[in-house]
Structure 1
Amino acid sequence: MTVDNVLLILSGLPWTVVLTFGAFAIGCLLGVPLVAARKSTFAPFRWTAAVFIQIVRALPPILWLFIIFFGVGMSLMPINPLLAALIGLGVIAGANMAEIYRGALASLHHGQWEATTALNFSRRHTLIDVVIPQAFRVALPSSASYLIGLMKETAVASTIGVTDLAFRGNQLSQLTFKGIEVFALVGLFYIFMSLPIAWLSRSADRYLRAKVAR
């Protein structure tokens, strides 16, 4: 494995990073209205959100990317591979983050809401100062685990032409016929990327637990 080969693989790293954190950011934002609809007292909102989340999570990520890139991109309007991957993975992330949020909210004891009502807190005050800080702590480990999983899922973007780590690895393996060495190195890059995320998640979780304990 020459330096040039390693640099070729590394040239795909920025696109993997952009896809991972871009799709995760979209998912974090999209998950908020989805979980709000999922928890709504208005039945049509609740059912629509539940069906949408179920459909999005049921289909493989590669199928969503094909629908967006080959379906929408070729039938309705041109779309570049990176944008198609961001939209597809972002929507999938939104559905998954909505379920993470819902689980975090469900973990809070109902007495929290009753106590804030007894103290005459406004709904905004209750959400910002009571519910969200506790739900965030509960959701953090699951969110970090999903972020690591999302980073691995970005490899499917190589099938529509995004020049990420997986794309560069496949390109180099075809040039050198050294598939084992090439993809072992690509795998190491994915591992090295996941380690800081896991460490930051554990550190943040310990910090938040210590603050709650005080």
Structure 2
Amino acid sequence: MTSDLFLAVLKGVPTTLLLTGASLGIGIVGGLPFVAARISNRRLLRVLSRSVIEVLRGIPPLVWLFIIYFGLGNSLPGIDPLQASIAGMGLISCAYMAEIYRGGLTAVHHGQWEAARALGMSSLATVRKIIAPQVFRISVPATANYGIGLFKDSSVAFTLEVTEVLYYANEQSRTTGDAIKPFLVAAVLYIVLSTVCAALSRSLDRRLQRRVAR
């Protein structure tokens, strides 16, 4: 019975990983224009970017999912619960990744920009060859921590009946009448997968540090 229960809840792992990976991927890419506006020389862009970031981070993920699925879903009838969840979590990821990138940029000494200009490098070349690699390395631990948090936050998608881990745990609870075991199995899966992700991120961080040290 326990093995059947575990396998039943395990069916939600692929969807949970898809939701987490797609949302984080949107954030990694979408956070770039946000941080570009956030550090822009134009005050209007900085104010707009900061305001949008604060709104995206200030509203709970579940509320965003409801707004997108039940609100915008009326205008976009083709959107399904998984797509709405990815869109909602992805938008939030953009805001958090923008702040992670900004933190990485502030950690890079401004003297490196000056040195690059003194060597005649263009701004694009400076960012691509000098600044971006450092920001990437600095941002890895924070991105990994956020990704683990996003992985756990993805459980709110079960309220839209997205077939992720918590959805199957809740389904098993209703089917068997057991209010504890299915959710304990879900908790174990979250812990194991989070631990694996944390170990992989630490390994990547160590490899990047060794490469920089050479």
- Unmatched runs of 5 consecutive residues or more in structure 1: none
Q: Which moved more, 1:160-169 or 1:4-13?
A: 4-13
2:76 maps to 77
User: 2:179 aligned with 1:186, yes or no?
Assistant: no
Q: Distance in 2 between matches of 1:13 and 1:52?
A: 32
Q: Which moved more, 1:8-17 or 1:62-71?
A: 8-17
- Tell me which amino acid in the other structure corresponds to 1:186: A
User: 2:209 aligned with 1:209, yes or no?
Assistant: yes
- Tell me which amino acid in the other structure corresponds to 2:110: H
TM-superposed CA distance for 1:186, in Å, is 0.5
1:139 maps to 139
Q: Distance in 1 between matches of 2:71 and 2:144?
A: 32
Q: Distance in 2 between matches of 1:174 and 1:188?
A: 19
Q: Distance in 1 between matches of 2:209 and 2:117?
A: 25
1:103 maps to 103
1:3 maps to 3
1:120 maps to 120
Q: Which moved more, 1:82-91 or 1:117-126?
A: 117-126
- Tell me which amino acid in the other structure corresponds to 1:37: A
Alignment coverage as a number of residue pairs: 213
- Tell me which amino acid in the other structure corresponds to 2:76: M
- Unmatched runs of 5 consecutive residues or more in structure 2: none
1:87 maps to 87
TM-superposed CA distance for 1:6, in Å, is 2.2
Matches within 5 A, 1:48-87: 48-74=48-74, 76-78=75-77, 79-87=79-87
- Tell me which amino acid in the other structure corresponds to 1:103: G
2:197 maps to 197
User: TM-score with structure 2 length normalisation?
Assistant: 0.96
- Tell me which amino acid in the other structure corresponds to 1:199: A
What's the C-alpha RMSD, in Å, of the aligned pairs?
A: 1.0
Q: Distance in 1 between matches of 2:151 and 2:119?
A: 43
TM-superposed CA distance for 1:70, in Å, is 0.8
- Tell me which amino acid in the other structure corresponds to 2:32: V
- Tell me which amino acid in the other structure corresponds to 1:125: A
SS of equivalent to 1:179: coil
After superposition, give the CA deviation of every residue in 1:68-98 in whole Å (9 maximum; x if it has no partner): 0111113x12121000000000000110000
User: TM-score with structure 1 length normalisation?
Assistant: 0.96
After superposition, give the CA deviation of every residue in 1:174-195 in whole Å (9 maximum; x if it has no partner): 1112222111110111111112
